[in-house]
Chains A and B, each alone.
Chain A
Amino acid sequence: MTFGLIGSHYWKHICTLKRELVDRGHKAFIILPTYFPQYYLATVSKATITLDHIELLDLDGFYVGLLETRERFFRGRFGKSIWLALRHRYLEFAKCEIENLSLQLSLLLMLGDMLPCVNSPYSLLLTRLRVASLRKLEANGIPVADLLITNDPAEDARVSKCVRVEEDNVLDVPCFPRCLESCLRLIQSGAAEIWKVMGIRHQKIRKMIVADGNLERQEPIPSQVSELVERILKTLDLQLAQVDFIKVDSEVRVGDVHPMPDWTSFEEATGEPISAQVAELLVQSGGAR
């Protein structure tokens, strides 16, 4: 079988995933959408989706690990004279980027409609809907950390044990929406822990990383947490995610869900064969097709 891996050649987890697939006798190639349209030729018609003349609909599945624009171009460090000159190029650049983003996202959603994808391209939207995802989990009876996002200074008085996102760098927006997460201060003082748990649908992962503000260590995953992760994946329609839990006293709550995790450090720290399991997941879904 042949798989497409949407991500960067410079990301270790993408490269190890490719290696795992190749080791199993399959083919895999990495597609970095950020480099579209300068370095890739893409065409879409009613019946075909090609990239550099390769028909993507002939592939057996995709790992979807990235969607981004080249906005970093304008986020570099420039001398002031160069920066001032860039003003005249900005609008044209922004207009091109929105066209490119539209093609990238359309292309991924089409692939998601037609082929097995880990995760579904719709999960890309979860990264811009973090609060909504947590609310969805909470509505499904999954315990999530207290969360208050506001730009109303009056809300400060109602929040205890909170940390405010630093505003020093916030520019020209006087009331930036601040994320007041009630557990963060506790974590910094060592009174709480973050449990980083990798979840893969129908795959058993035994260890997690525990961070207490100073050090990280690996520990076995309690069975109720494993069950919770399976429920989270199902609720958010994900096959793979890193779930960060926050544990205060004996209470464990979801703090964040990452639908496109870089599992390299997790794999190195715990020895859990995440790349191999993701490769298995892709092969199984491709085979089922």
Chain B
Amino acid sequence: MKNERIGLIGRHDDPEIQLLKAKIEDLGAQAIVVDFWQYPRFSQSVIALDRILYDEVDLTNLDAFYLRQLGYFSPLPQKEFSRQEWETYYEKFNEFIANEREVMSYRESLIQILEMLKPVINPYFCAFYHKLKLYQYWKLSNAGLPVHDFLAGNDYLSLKRFIHKGNMVAKPMTGGYVRMLDESTLEGERSSLRQRPIIAQHRIAGRMLRCFVLADRVLGTCELVHKPDETDARLGIVAMERFELADEFGDIALRASQTLGMIFAGVDLILDEVKGTVFVLECNPAPLFRSFEAQTGLPISQELALYLVNEAG
């Protein structure tokens, strides 16, 4: 297993990228980080009909790619500008946004062209699911997978009727924290529904699980043990423990990732042991794995590296 060259599209300082790079190198292959955060200020790149260069490496000569981050979804950067930056953009915001659009288009075109030529894990469109949670729920539900009832939108009265049905949480469409939702909190947010929609979803108590899947197999499952009453899976974690997931639930995780076209995924499940049911919360196309494997010993990065090297071969 020598000489394979794997491109890792992500940031140099990303711990997941660093770990995966080390694992690929342990297998005797070469890992090259393609860091678009350096582009176009500090990196040079070319797309022509016969080559794709990134800092003088012809990416068409690499054998496979892992797509950790696509970058931002909208050309409006999600950042707080300093007063000095903001003053600089006075009467020039058009050009700034035009630049952002060009860079976004360049980066995404490059990744999609690579996908035409080489294996890319995960495929380009999968990265969008991270920002299209609603579409994800819809697709999973239409495929017959167990998804909590939800109602999304900005219609106050419809949302109010929906939350009467039980214990609810509010979720953002793209990113941010999950929070409890009842009539009084909805009332408090009523005016903001003219600015942004929300997703209201039934809250089901149960064990919060992250199931890692790769191609057609389950690599392993971790349970995220939370403080009582924590609503967001990322907050209040007191332990990550290895969990033996029943085969039937593992199949659900596999079907969920396959429905969305993901080869590698972290599928979030919630297990109601009393009723013996599981619900799919979300499929993550570029999941964090470093902390999970550090605490549970699951060899996720090892398996992913092996898969990438085999695909490259």
Contacts and interface: CB of A to CB of B under 8 A. Distances in A.
Interface of A: 36-38, 40-46, 50, 69, 71, 74-75, 77, 80, 83-84, 87, 90-91, 93-103, 105-107, 109-110, 113, 125, 128-132, 135-136, 138-139, 144, 146-152, 155, 169-177
B199 to A, nearest CB: 9
Contacts of B94: 75
Nearest to B142: A113
Contacts of A171: 88-89, 92, 95-96, 99
B196 A177 contact: no
Interface stretch (B68-76, B265-273, B305-313): B68-76
Contacts of B39: 151
Nearest to B80: A91
B47 A149 contact: yes
A171 to B, nearest CB: 5
A184 B75 CA distance: 27
Given A37-B197, A41-B153, A149 B41 contact: no
B88 A43 contact: no
A87 B147 CA distance: 40
A100 B196 contact: yes
A45 B150 contact: yes
7 contacts: A37-B196, A40-B154, A44-B151, A77-B91, A129-B105, A152-B45, A175-B41
Contacts of A102: 73, 131-134, 173-174
B41 A173 contact: yes
Contacts of B41: 173-175
Interface string B166-209: 00000011111000000000000000011111000000000000
A91 B176 CA distance: 14
A131 B47 CA distance: 8
Interface residues of B, number: 79
Contact of B155 (A41, A95, A155): A41
A-B interface, 10 closest residue pairs, ranked by CB to CB distance from nearest: A43-B153, A102-B173, A106-B135, A131-B109, A132-B112, A152-B44, A132-B109, A37-B154, A106-B134, A41-B155
Contacts of A40: 154
Nearest to A139: B116
A83 B90 contact: yes
Given A77-B91, A84-B86, A109-B132, A131 B105 contact: yes
A98 B106 contact: no
A43 B46 contact: no
Nearest to B197: A103
Nearest to A77: B91
Nearest to A165: B102
Contact of B93 (A42, A75, A98): A75
B134 A101 contact: no
Contacts of B95: 169-171
Nearest to A173: B99
B95 to A, nearest CB: 5
A109 B139 CA distance: 10
A222 B235 CA distance: 63
B141 A144 contact: no
A84 B91 CA distance: 11
A136 B102 CA distance: 19
B295 interface: no
B49 interface: yes
B155 A43 contact: yes
Contact of B194 (A38, A95, A136): A38
A91 B79 contact: yes
Contacts of B197: 37, 42, 99-100, 103
Contacts of B96: 171-172
Contacts of A172: 88, 96
Given A129-B105, A150-B46, 12 more contacts: A42-B197, A46-B138, A75-B93, A75-B94, A75-B97, A94-B74, A95-B78, A103-B173, A128-B105, A147-B49, A152-B44, A172-B88
A169 B95 CA distance: 6
A162 to B, nearest CB: 12
A218 to B, nearest CB: 31
B196 A132 contact: no
A44 B175 CA distance: 18
Contact of A43 (B78, B80, B151, B195): B151
B54 to A, nearest CB: 10
B216 interface: no
B252 interface: no
